[in-house]
Chain A
Amino acid sequence: MADLRVSYSTLDGVYHALDSATETFRKAPMPSDGGAFGADDVAAAFATFRAAQQRSAAWLGDTSRTLGQYAHDTKSLVQDADDDLAGKAGGAG
């Protein structure tokens, strides 16, 4: 089993950084063509590209958020385990 080393400040830092990355990915604007092309086939191709870009960036945002939440939950889990152990140690005493 791997060694366990963790600090609340590390997990907090990871969570906040990923939260910030999530917002950046989600807010990165993907412009629409607004009729600039004057050609239906070009507009259709750009619309497909735009949708693919939006979904790809959504994946970046979702994955960052999930990882940030994972770091946050890990902190809660470690805190719970620590409290539990403290309780058991107190009971043993």
Chain B
Amino acid sequence: MTADPLAGDPAAVTKLSRALADRQDDLRTGATTVARAADDAADWEGASKDRFSATVGTIAPAAQRIIGRLDAAIDVLGTYADEVQRIQDEAERIRASQLTTAMDSAITALSLSAAKLAVSAKDATDADARQARRLQSDADDLAATASRLDAEWDALVRRRTTADRAASAGLSATDVLGVAPSYSGTLGRMSDADFLAAVAAMPPEVLAAQDPSVADRLAGMPAETVQAWWDGLGGRGTAGEHAAAQDALITALPAVIGNLNGVPYWARDQANRLSAQRAYAQAQDDLRVARRRYTRAIGGHGQVAAGHALNAALLRYNQLNNFVAGARTDLNLRYPLPRQMVAFRDGQPPLGAFSVGDLDSASSVTFLVPGMGSSLADTTQYMRTGSTVQQSQQQMSGDASAYVTWLGYESPPNFLATGDTAVLHEDSARAGAATLSADLAGVRATRPDVQLNVVAHSYGSTTAALALASDSALNIHSFVTLGSAGIPSSVPDAAATHAAHMYAAQANEKWGIAAFGRTFSDPHRADPTQGFGATEMHTDGTRTVNVHDLAADPDSRNVGYLDSGTKTLLGTAKATMP
């Protein structure tokens, strides 16, 4: 496309440049405020401060780099505005000359035509001939001038093309974008090794600014590739000590790093806490907005719509609120254990997993997979239930398996509360099994020798059975089902789960919830305590399990599968003992 020397508005480009300078001032103000916050935090000491310090120290340097990129862009725009202004001034001069020349040429042509007529007349004089020659000479001069002006215009078009290219190249340069221009264009074509090296070399604010395809490609990397890459950045690292490049990845791409198999769990924990806190903060804002809209809604239809929106916002708020509360909720441990946010996927609904125990160092890891009606809103409840098992283990041997409350799938709604019959079918289990299998494989990839167990309740056992059957390399030590909603026919027996040991417990539950789920399942699902090949765990004794829940209401006379004093609690603790 041919450049137009008169196109554009240099004054507007200069104004744009000034607006970028104003933006620099805002960013400086923000960076100064962050530095003040870091200074204010001087009186805060402890492990919680370490986590704060590691990240707060990255903000001001990043802001300075962004300001520097604005500087570079301002230079490019300033040069461009000046050059375009000069080109436009020259273009106007040429256009004016072309117009004058064209008018003179037209007048001269007319005069020349008349003079030639006079010369050809019978009464022509020598003066007529001289006049015709003079006018012809003038016409020739004007034609030469027009030709010269055309050439000057063409040169100006080339000059404008050069200015446009220089500005375009300048705005795409490393010092403006913060990344070599070839990265943006070639990242997608790089080998995995080159891609990972390029990503690790980017500062956090640049990494965060990359196209989503960068995050997608990283998320799809094999665990062993990720592990080798991560370790190459400065070793496995710990929450307290790790490389700056690892920190940059955690803060820039928390949604990816937090769920990336092959990354150590301390890093996933930090990344997921960032993601979850952001999501929680957003849910707080959304809830405030939904409440305001509900109070201001006018008319029946408007109020119904606003009411639905408010309920959805409240549901999401409760889910995220309970999930982040997992970091501080009371547990039933005999000795304290560290906690890690193992996974967080901010979708609709949000999903995640929270560990009690350090997955980077624990000798045993157990995934607790809940059943129907479970969501992130139940995180603390299931963490507490898992900690009851850990407490028993600590009492027996002093050591406990790290228990991961896995709320990583969209479980079917509670049939009793909603009448929704999804729990009778396999769709939710199949979808959840793929994620569970991947999360278990993530542990296995980073911890090849760790003892890995799965304890699954109700419909969670349907999901877990499918997950375990899908991957024999998971090398599961113990698979425990409690009040199973049934095992799908594609997993015909305990051997098909590939677990070294399978245990199953089925209590005589009030209202027969698990039995109901199995009886009316479609396609039909088997009871793992009946000829399935699993070792049966007894539910009777001094405290006989009599309800479907894992933990019954302590104020009731009911007893759940993992309540203190039950054989199922003891059996589960032993089956998953490190």
Contacts and interface: CB of A to CB of B under 8 A. Distances in A.
A5 B33 CA distance: 23
B278 A65 contact: yes
Interface string B36-47: 110011011111
A84 B330 CA distance: 9
B244 to A, nearest CB: 15
Interface in A34-66: 34-42, 44-46, 48-49, 51-53, 55-60, 62-66
Q: How large, as a class, is the contact surface on chain A?
A: 35 or more
A53 B62 CA distance: 12
Contacts of B31: 21
Interface in A53-81: 53, 55-60, 62-71, 73-74, 76-77, 80-81
B34 A64 contact: yes
Contacts of B171: 42, 45-46, 48-49
Given A3-B45, A14-B37, A56-B205, A63 B251 contact: yes
A86 interface: no
Q: Give the most central of B55, B63, B171: most A CB within 10 Å.
A: B171
Contacts of A77: 48, 327-328
A7 to B, nearest CB: 6
Given A45-B167, A49-B73, A60-B66, A21 B56 contact: no
B33 A24 contact: yes
Interface stretch (B8-16, B370-378, B443-451): B8-16
Contacts of A76: 328
Contacts, number: 211
Interface stretch (B17-25, B303-311, B399-407): B17-25
Given A5-B44, A58-B208, A69-B280, A21 B37 contact: yes
Interface stretch (B103-111, B172-180, B486-494): B172-180
A92 interface: no
Which of A11, A27, A28 has the most chain B CB within a 10 Å cutoff? A28
B62 A60 contact: yes
A59 B204 contact: yes
B45 A4 contact: yes
Contacts of B170: 45
Given A2-B46, A37-B167, A64-B30, A57 B66 contact: yes
Given A28-B23, A33-B16, A41-B165, A52 B34 contact: no
A49 B177 contact: yes
B80 A20 contact: no
Residue among B1, B19, B164, B165 facing the most chain A CB atoms (10 A cut-off): B164
Contact of B328 (A40, A66, A80): A80
26 contacts: A2-B45, A2-B50, A10-B40, A14-B52, A17-B34, A17-B40, A18-B37, A35-B12, A37-B13, A37-B167, A39-B7, A46-B171, A48-B171, A55-B208, A56-B69, A57-B66, A59-B208, A60-B63, A62-B278, A66-B274, A67-B56, A70-B52, A74-B52, A76-B328, A77-B48, A84-B330
